[in-house]
Amino acid sequence: MKRLSLLASAALALAACATSVPMGTASDDAAGKTFSPPSAGRAALYVYQAQSNVVLDITANQRLLGTLGEFSYLRTEVPPGRYELRARVNNVDAALLPLDVRAGEIRYVRATAAPQTYTLREEPASVAQPAILTAKRISEIKFLEVPY
């Protein structure tokens, strides 16, 4: 019985460590790495993950923005306002970061996943941009324009 329990735990750990995520196109990746200002009346939000074997679903106010794997990032533009960014692992909240954004801003959030430790923290451009330049952009999730 103990052996079966250990096998089940190992299988769950391996499932959480799968790193295959839908990747964006090369042109989308290149565009994201220009760090261009957001569209008028919007804020740009980058969320990135460096070295980690854990796949994280990133949400803003309970709306999925994308799924990050190892050395990946997302860029999305959002209306100004308050957001609760969450990192989720296997449909369970693992980290939370409240974030207020204003029109015209570019904000950077690093997602960190280590065994039993998950964090979302805002980073300055001087730290985030070099990390994003070594990462790959994930496929963007498109939504109808509705309030967050």
Q: Is this structure's pTM higher than 0.85?
A: no
Domain ranges of the chain: 17-137
pLDDT confidence bin for 142, thresholds 50/70/90:
low
10 burial level (CB within 10 Å; 0-12, 13-18, 19+): exposed
pLDDT at residue 37 tops 70: yes
Of 3.30.70.100, 1.20.1730.10, 2.60.40.2890, 3.40.50.300, the CATH number of 17-137 is 2.60.40.2890
**Strands 72-78 vs 136-137: parallel, antiparallel or unpaired:** parallel
pLDDT surpasses 80 at 148: no
Task: Give the separation between CA 64 and CA 77, rounded to whole angstroms.
Answer: 13
More confident site: 19 or 109: 109
Rounded Cα–Cα distance for residues 51 and 120 (Å): 14
Rg for the chain, CA atoms, rounded: 16
Residue 60 DSSP SS3 = strand
